[in-house]
A and B are shown apart, each in its own frame.
Chain A
Amino acid sequence: MRIEEKFKQLKEKKEGALIAYICAGDPTPQATKEYVTALVRGGADIIELGLPFSDPVADGPTIQAGIQRALDGGMTPDVYFRTISSLKLHIPLVVMTYYNLIFKRGLEKFAKDCAASGISGMIVPDLPPEESDELQQVCKENEIDLIYLVAPTTTEERMNQILKEGAGFIYLVARLGVTGARSDVAGSTRELIKRVKTTTPRAVGFGISNGKQASEIIRAGADGVIVGSAFVDIIAKGEDVPVRLEALARELKDGVKGQQ
C-alpha cells in the first residue's frame, strides 16, 4: 500500500498515524515477523523496519543495541528482503537504513528489491537532499517514496527545498540529538510543526514514548507520530514481548486518535 493512500484514509477518519519502528532481525528474523504482527494488531498504521548497519550515527544507545542484536542474529540485506517478502502486510512498510548499505547493493537493485518485497518508502538518515538526486530518481522509477527529514536547525531555504522533494511524509526530527525515548514534548517540536508548511503529511519522531505525548503532538498539528526506541526497549527486556508491543501500540494509537 502507498503511504499517501494510508494518510488519506486516516484523514477521513480524523485520526493521526502511528508509525512504529523496530529493527529487523532483533533478535532474530523469525521474532521480527511475530513482533510486526503484534504492532499491527495494536493499531500501527505504518511499519518502519530498520535494516541494521554497523555504524548507525543517527541512533542513540537503545536502537544501537537493537541493531547490534540484529547483526549478531545474522541479519543481512538478503535476509531482510526475504523476511519482508513473507510478511504480507496490508499497511505501508518503510525501510530505514544508512546509505552505505543501499550504495553497496546498488541503488537500482536496492530499490527493485524494495518494490518486489512490498516496501513503499525509504528513510535514509545520513542522506541529505544535496546528495540524493540519484536515489530520488531510482525511487521514482520504482514507485517508492524517499522520505526526507527536517530538523529544528533546518533553515528556511533548505526547508523549502526539502518540502518540494519530500514524498510519502515529511519526517520531523523533534529535537536535536539521536533517537531515544523521552517523556516530555519539547517546545522546539511545536515550533517545528508550525514551520513545516506543506500538503505532504508531517510525522514527528525522536523521543516519543507514550500515548500522552502522541496525542499532544497530533493536537499541535502533526499528522502522525513515529515511535521506535520505546518499542525497542520492550524487545531488549525480552519479557512477554508481543503482548507488551501490542499494548504500547494500542496506547499510542489511542493517543493519535485523540482518545487519551
Chain B
Amino acid sequence: MTLKLESKFGKYGGQFVPEVLMPALVELTEYYEKYKDDAVFNDELNHYLRDFAGRPSPLYFAKRLSREYGVKIYLKREDLIHGGAHKLNNTLGQGLLAKYMGKKRIIAETGAGQHGTACAMAGAAFDIKTEVYMGAKDTVRQRMNVYRMELMGTKVIPVKSGSQTLKDAINEAMRDWVANVETTHYMIGSVVGPHPFPTMVRDFQSVIGKEVRTQILEKEGRFPDSIVACTGGGSNAMGIFHPFIEEDVDLFAVEAGGSGMKTTEKEALHSATLCTGEDGILHGMRTKVLQNKYGQILESSSIAAGLDYAGVGPELAYLADIGRLKPCNSMDSEALLAFHDLCRFEGIIPALESSHAVAYVKRAAASGELGDIVVINISGRGDKDLETVMGMRK
C-alpha cells in the first residue's frame, strides 16, 4: 500500500481546475504514488540526475564573500547543473514519469526560459515532443533561452494575452492541456498548480536539500543555522528546505521586492507574494496571491523574470502562516549589487533570481538573524541575464 499524498497544506493547495482536467490529475496522482518509491524508476532517475544533469552539485564554502558579509557562507551550486539551473531536477523527474505514463507530448510554461530549457533537455533525452508557452515579453527579454530551446527541438509558442509574462504562459498551457489532456503531460515548472504538482515538484527538487544534509555534515559536522533561497513559485526554496523542515534550521524565502512594495488596481511593483499576498485561488491552487480588492490578479514585476509571478506554492504559504519559514524580499537594486559581489569576490556569475537570496544575506548578516553558518541556494547561473545587467549599467 503506498501512502496517499498530501493534497492540502493547511487550508492551501487543492485542485481548482476545469472538470475536463480532473481525471488527468487523478491519473497523474496515481502514477506518481505508484512510482515515487519504485526501485526501477528511481534507479533510472538517479542515472539521469548523475550522468546527464551532473549531480550531486557541490556545496562550496565562499571564503571571500563570508569575510565581506561577516557570516560563514556556503553556496549550493545549482548553477552548475546541466542547463544552468535547478530546473532540470524537476523536468527529469516529470519527464521520466510522463514516459512511464505513455504520454506522447509534453507542454510547459516558462518565465525566464530556464524551466523551458530544462523541459527541452528532458524532452530530447526521453524522446518526447515538447512545446513551451512563453510570454511574448519574456521571449524578448530572454531570447537566448528561446534559441537554446529551439536548438534542442522544442517549439516555443509566444503568448500575447494579458501581461504577456509567466502567469499568462501558465494560463495558455492550461488551455492547451484542457484540449489535449489524453495525450499530453503538462510539465509545470515550480511547486505551484493543482495537486499533485506542488508535492511532486517539491519531491523531485528535494534532491538539493538531501545533498546539503550530507555535505554540510562532512564540512561542519552540524547543520547550518539558516538556509536562504530565492522564491518565485518556490521550487528551489522547497527543494532545499524540505529535508530540513524537522530540523532546527531557520528558513528564509526571499521574494522579489522589485522597485518597491507599492501596488495599484492592476499591478504590483514587486512579486513579493508571501510577504504581501492575500488568500486566493489561482492556477488550480488556493494560496497567497497578489490581487486587488475584487480578486483580479495583479501583474507582478521583477528584474528577474523567474521570480516575476503573482502566486506562490501553497506549501510555502502554509509554512509562512505557521511561522516555519520567514518570508522576506530583496529589491531589484539590492539584487544587482549582490550579483556583482558574487561575480567579483567568488568568480561565480549567479542568476538574478539567486542574487536576491545573496542580497538578503548581505542585509541580514549584520543583525545576527542568520546565525553563524548560512547556506544560500544559488539556483542558477547568470549567463542568461548578462544583457539585462549590461543594460542597467548604461
Contact = CB atoms under 8 A, between A and B. Distances in A.
B179 A177 contact: yes
Interface of B is mostly: mixed
B295 interface: yes
B87 interface: no
Interface string A112-151: 0000000000000111101100000000000000001111
Contacts of A220: none
B294 A173 contact: no
Contacts of A127: 16
A104 B162 CA distance: 21
Given A100-B289, A126-B284, A176 B178 contact: yes
Interface stretch (A153-161, A223-231, A241-249): A153-161
A155 B23 contact: yes
A17 to B, nearest CB: 21
Interface string A36-70: 00000000000000000111111011001000000
B265 to A, nearest CB: 9
Contacts of B181: 153, 176
Interface residues of A, number: 40
B17 interface: yes
B251 interface: no
A258 interface: no
B171 A55 contact: yes
B19 A173 contact: yes
A158 B174 contact: no
Nearest to A64: B161
A99 B16 contact: yes
A53 B296 contact: yes
A128 B17 contact: yes
A206 to B, nearest CB: 10
A87 interface: no
A101 interface: yes
B162 A55 contact: yes
A111 to B, nearest CB: 15
B313 interface: no
A173 B20 contact: yes
A28 interface: no
Residue among B19, B168, B174 with max Cβ neighbours from chain A (10 Å): B19
Contacts of A130: 14-15, 22
Interface string B231-245: 000000000000000
A176 B18 CA distance: 11
A101 to B, nearest CB: 5
Interface in A68-115: 71, 76-78, 98-101, 103-105
Given A71-B296, A100-B289, A101-B294, A154 B19 contact: yes
A153 B162 contact: no
A186 to B, nearest CB: 12
A228 to B, nearest CB: 15
A57 B19 CA distance: 12
A162 B18 CA distance: 13
B22 A158 contact: yes
Contact of B281 (A60, A100, A173): A100
A113 to B, nearest CB: 12
A227 B182 CA distance: 25
Contacts of B104: none
B297 to A, nearest CB: 5
B11 to A, nearest CB: 11
A105 B175 contact: no
Contact of B280 (A56, A78, A103, A131): A103
B180 interface: yes
A178 interface: yes
Interface string A150-191: 111111001000100000000001001110000000000000
B179 A55 contact: no
A176 B180 contact: yes
Contacts of B96: none
Given A56-B171, A99-B281, 5 more contacts: A55-B168, A101-B294, A104-B278, A126-B16, A126-B281
- Per CB-CB distance, the 6 closest pairs between chain A and chain B, nearest first, are A104-B295, A177-B179, A151-B20, A54-B296, A100-B281, A149-B19
